[in-house]
Structure 1
Amino acid sequence: MTIVDTPSRVPDEPVPGAAADGRPPLKIAMVAPPWFELPPRGYGGTEAVVAALVDGLVARGHEVKLIAAGEHRTAATSFHRIYDEPPTERLGTPIPEVIAAAEAARAIESADVDVVHDHTLAGPLLARGRTQPTVVTMHGPVTGEPGDYHERLGRTVDLVAISDAQRRLNPRLNWVGTVHNAIDVPSFPYRAEKDDYVLWLGRFSPDKAPDLAIDAARRAGRRIVLAGKLNEPSEFEYFDDVVRPLLGSDAEYVGEADATLKRELLSGARSLVFPIQWEEPFGMVMIEAMACGTPVVALRRGSVPEIVAHGRSGLIVDDFRQFPAALALAEELDPADARAEAERRFDLPVMAEGYERVYRMLAEGTESIRRLSDDVATSAR
């Protein structure tokens, strides 16, 4: 398997005729959003998770039919292309999404699969017409209109949360488990010796609060480097009005980070500044930083307490005024502890095994899966 721009280990060879758990391999249809290729070369958190999950499941001996747009650089057993080129410039418009859903349904109809795992918005609407269970990972909001939509889908789909915090926001949904997102930890370089900056990495939005990150770094007397997605009108407006006036010799914007630059920045940073301003269900950049041995300094919002082991892989603060002191204290944490947490809880095999358990329960058709409770949630502890 060759992954451009994304170093990856070679999966262990599965035992012929059996999956890693010793049982017959599952046949899984994996439906990705149509907006970016897999894995994405730059921004694309959901696509990165889907690509990693495909590789992890194949490494465990399962057959995965990937349905996605553009080229793919995954270990998928087979591939059905929806668009020759991902319609990235039309992100957020309905037609590419519904075309992708229709094409995916056609591909699934002619395929021999045990379970469908759909990561799109429109695709789950077609779950009612198939006999196989349809798993839907809730990568985004679960309240408001997205919550209303998935609540109306009822038990035609089986929802997986990416954090327990996300599940608590809307307990009315048909949750069947929690599986934390994961990354290929060995592909992230570990560095014990850090450079002279802290890092903010994300999408330029008030929810991600890069302006607060700059303020915290200045108060702590630390240089900050910012890298992130900046290509939508709302992002440009926010950047020009709020972020750009704050830049200077101690606050540098370096552009959007591809896979290579992201690893370089994360591994060299003294800490990742994460002043999140919403109940984010899962912040991928946190586990990427941990994999590099870089502690995370974050506000106690959303999934942060589930991801950051306070005093080990980072520091969690309850008030923004605590940020400057926390940035200084984070430099005393052992980078090896952050890396170990990432390996133990957020590596690809952990996520793949979690989804494997969900797939098995659904494919077996047991009634108990419909009443699956938190004590059998699949997130690693």
Structure 2
Amino acid sequence: MPIDRLDQTAPLRIAMVVPPWYELPPAGYGGVEQVCAALVDALGARGHEVTLFGAGTGSGTSARFVGTMSRLQHDRLGQSLPELAHLARADQMINPDVFDVVHDHTTIGPFLAPRRSVPTVATVHNRPTGELGDILDDVDRSVGLVAISHAQRRLRPYLPWAATVHNGMALDDVPYKTEAGAGPVLWLARFSPDKGPDLAVRACRAAGLPLVLAGKCDEPEEQRYLAEVIEPMQGPDVTVLRNPDRETCFELLLSARCLIMPIRWEEPFGMVIVEAMATGTPVVALDRGAVPELVRPGVTGLVCADPDDLPEALQRVAALDPAASVAHVRNSFSAELMAEGYERVYRHWAATVRPSENALIPTGAW
């Protein structure tokens, strides 16, 4: 039954379209997938009916799962054809008799969304500059673009942004510590110069502290960067872990003195920062991208203007109270808060946006 557009409490029927690369929730790398899994379950807990359109044969979420292709496409990450095929098949099954709103998390989806017969809200998970920015510039105004941080939105302020909703995480099963970690400094990201693992090595050496570099390293560029730049910098004070799973990542966070994030780019969010603080681990980061929106300086971490300031911050950060970091995440970045924010956007879009007269007529069944 279609939503009563005047009833702001009626459950919504949501088509959640996620990228075809990884499962939900992901076993290892997959920040977008981790956020989407938390959102799906939080929306379900609020009484909404969520159908998840993804690749593979199922998900670990509470949503009804509809597969568009039997195999996950992580080995083709970033290629356009797998995502286009995924979207084409999903769109054939998105029917206005079944759904009130579509929430699209793919890269190409916002550009194709006007052909849908159901209003679309699309989260922009990446930096809206360069080629992606050019695509978003041409997105139809009937598509509600959602930013994940104010910093991301400032990179392209004139896009038709519908809202800003910070990412959140499911917290019920997240372990946390009550005392400062006694282990090494931890860097946790993908092996890329943008993420600054070389800066992390230099900062930790200057501070006289051991470092663990744990990150995604399965694409050729990542493997090349690790081999050519990072491995020559290795010594007994630097341990490298490739492609750790989620359980290992949380074990590393719990034991770490702090998380170091010496990013060189305008990162739209930085989910690992929230995950670190959720475990009680403080963060030392450079003042780039969304870092100032996530870290409370002097409370949950230290934010540095220059890489030369990192060694001193690494020494000072151990004095911060883990409980403050845990409380900050629960008060600001929970999955429940994220779901509340998106629900407001869904209701507005479902109530005010009408699909084009030339919208696709769905022919698929599921």
Normalising by structure 2, we get a TM-score of 0.92
Partner of 1:29: 15
The answer on 1:301 being equivalent to 2:288 is yes
Partner of 2:69: 83
User: 1:167 Cα deviation (Å)?
Assistant: 0.6
The answer on 1:204 being equivalent to 2:191 is yes
SS in 2 for 1:74: coil
Partner of 2:246: 259
Partner of 1:157: 143
1:267-322 deviation digits (Å, cap 9, x = unpaired): 11110000000000000000000000000100000000000011111110101111
Of 28, 36, 59, the match for 1:42: 28
Q: Bigger CA drift: 91-100 or 126-135?
A: 126-135
For structure 2, the 5+ residue unaligned runs are 355-366
The answer on 1:324 being equivalent to 2:311 is yes
1:308-352 deviation digits (Å, cap 9, x = unpaired): 011111110101111000011100100100111011001110101
SS in 1 for 2:139: helix
Which amino acid letter does the alignment assign opposite residue 178 of structure 1? T
Contact 1:80 1:107 in 2 (8 A): no
Contact 2:14 2:102 in 1 (8 A): yes
Contact 1:225 1:253 in 2 (8 A): yes
SS in 2 for 1:214: helix
Partner of 1:52: 38
Contact 2:94 2:117 in 1 (8 A): no
Which amino acid letter does the alignment assign opposite residue 164 of structure 1? H
Which amino acid letter does the alignment assign opposite residue 341 of structure 1? H
User: 1:22 Cα deviation (Å)?
Assistant: 7.7
1:215 and 1:61 map into 2 onto residues whose CA distance is 49
Which amino acid letter does the alignment assign opposite residue 36 of structure 1? Y
1:196 and 1:99 map into 2 onto residues whose CA distance is 45
Partner of 2:328: 341
Partner of 1:370: none
Partner of 1:124: 110
Which amino acid letter does the alignment assign opposite residue 47 of structure 1? E
1:165-202 deviation digits (Å, cap 9, x = unpaired): 11111012110100001111232211123122110000
2:210 and 2:87 map into 1 onto residues whose CA distance is 46
SS in 1 for 2:158: coil
Which amino acid letter does the alignment assign opposite residue 342 of structure 1? V
SS in 2 for 1:37: coil
1:253 and 1:189 map into 2 onto residues whose CA distance is 24
1:196 and 1:348 map into 2 onto residues whose CA distance is 29
User: 1:249 Cα deviation (Å)?
Assistant: 1.5
Cα RMSD, aligned residues only: 1.8
Contact 1:191 1:335 in 2 (8 A): yes
Residue identity over aligned pairs, in percent, reads 52
SS in 1 for 2:16: strand
SS in 2 for 1:342: helix
Provide closer, same or farther for how the CA distance between residues 186 and 328 of structure 1 changes in structure 2, counting only shifts above 3 A.
farther
2:173 and 2:190 map into 1 onto residues whose CA distance is 23
2:340 and 2:133 map into 1 onto residues whose CA distance is 27
For structure 1, the 5+ residue unaligned runs are 1-16, 368-381
2:48 and 2:12 map into 1 onto residues whose CA distance is 5
Of 126, 129, 138, the match for 1:143: 129
2:326 and 2:174 map into 1 onto residues whose CA distance is 10
Partner of 1:11: none
SS in 1 for 2:336: helix
Which amino acid letter does the alignment assign opposite residue 299 of structure 1? L
SS in 2 for 1:24: coil
Of 213, 228, 237, the match for 2:224: 237
